[in-house]
Amino acid sequence: MSAKLKTAVLGATGYSGLELTRILLRHPRLEKPVLLRRSTDNGGASDLADVFPVLSGNGGYPLHSLSWPALKQQGVELLFLATPHEASRALVPEALSHGLRVIDLSGAWRLKQEQHRAIYNFQDSDAITAAELTEKAVYGLPELNGDRVANATLVANPGCYATSVILALAPLLKAGVVDRNHGIVSDSKSGVSGAGKEPSAKTHFVSVADNLSAYSIFNHRHVGEMVEQLGLNAQELIFTPHLLPIPRGILSTIYLHLSREMTPLEVESCFRNFYSGKRWVRVFQTPKLPQVQFSLQTNYCDLGFCLAEDGRRLVLISCIDNLLKGAAGQAVQNMNLMYGWSEDEGLQ
């Protein structure tokens, strides 16, 4: 049996970082990952179990300071970054220069077009290198870009909202059956973990419990991903995110008009043909619709739809676990592709 891959995770103390670490620990083709601590992490905790007591009693998960020579000495080949966007933007050039492959869970390298990237307001110290890496980065949505992910040195893991919306719309847009002149509306709702671990007034229990609120209307950071990957104009998509009073999960309800009259069987066939052989997309047979609870704790994207009697008005439902298919699970799916393994390794 070939030697196992050595990985490292920077940012394991966040929600996505914890989920990623837990998957890597059980992955059959990996050694125990090296866990790296950021200087701002949890008052300098020395073990991940100190941050997440659920890990206690399993032998310890030491957190190390980032050192490129130390990673090389330990034989690390692949680095996962579960870090803020600005941190990933600065760290990726260094990691690649030290011969590492990188899967970045932030939004630092997802966007090709400057007008979409402007929302992050990156201040690159080396603009030329940043531009080169922006072009080099592969948008890591395996169902759309799996062939490119396989040979990538830098994979930009998609955003959680973007994953749910892109996977729902891609088959219909590819088939050319969406009436884009009517526009597309996505009403998406996420659990609170999607906002990250750092608390804020909006994510405080008192603000979230027994409540439902919209935010970032017309200027959410994931919209750029959606329109770039789907080949849409910004004016063709209205995306409104909402905060649900649940820990995790995303449900996107997407409204559109078809360019011709279709039957439910034709719509379903469009999805099934597009995702044939794609392990982590489940297409529900109409009239059954996905629910948040069906995809929780899994790497599935669940897709369903309802077609109006006129055969032209279509409502899509897309559900994912924002911490798995929307973050850590998809990152591992990308790793599996990068090393020629089955996409379900470590994720079942």
Q: Residue 44 above 70 pLDDT? A: no
Mean pLDDT (whole number) for 290-299: 98
Q: pLDDT (tens digit, 9 = 90+) per residue, 74-90? A: 999 999 999 999 999 99
Average pLDDT of the residues in 56-68: 90
In this prediction, residue 196 has a pLDDT band, given cuts at 50, 70 and 90, of: confident
Identify the CA nearest to 239 among candidates 186, 160, 191: 186
pLDDT at residue 179, rounded to an integer: 98
Mean pLDDT for the stretch of residues 83-112: 97
Determine the average pLDDT of the residues in 88-102: 98
Mean pLDDT of 262-288: 97
Is 319 designated active site? no
For CATH 3.30.360.10, list the domain ranges present in the chain. Answer: 160-320
160, 270, 301, 319: which one is catalytic?
160
CATH topology for 7-157+327-338 is Rossmann fold (3.40.50)
- Report the pLDDT averaged over residues 264-272: 98
Q: How far apart are CA 29 and CA 101, in angstroms?
A: 17
Residue 204 to residue 263: CA distance in whole angstroms? 45
* Segment 126-169, tens digit of pLDDT: 999 999 999 999 999 999 999 999 999 999 999 999 999 999 99
What pLDDT sits at residue 207?
86
Cα separation of 124 and 84, whole Å? 15
Supply the pTM of this predicted model.
0.96
Please write down the HEC assignment for all residues of 52-68. CHHHCCCCCCEEEECCH
Decide: helix, strand or coil at residue 348. Answer: coil
Residues of the chain with CATH 3.40.50.720: 7-157+327-338
What confidence tens digit (pLDDT) does each residue in 203-246 have?
888 888 999 999 999 999 999 999 999 999 999 999 999 999 99
Count CB atoms within 10 A of the CB of residue 187. 16
40-62 CB burial, b ≥16 within 10 A, e <16: ebbeeeeebbbbbeebeeeeebe
With a cut of 70, say whether residue 40 has pLDDT above it: no
Tokens of 289: 């619709």
Residue 125: pLDDT band with limits 50, 70, 90: very high
pLDDT in tens, 299-336: 999 999 999 999 999 999 999 999 999 999 999 999 99
High-pLDDT (> 70) share of the chain, %: 98
pLDDT at 57: 81
Domain 160-320, architecture per CATH: 2-Layer Sandwich (3.30)
| C-alpha–C-alpha distance, residues 210 and 245, integer Å | 6
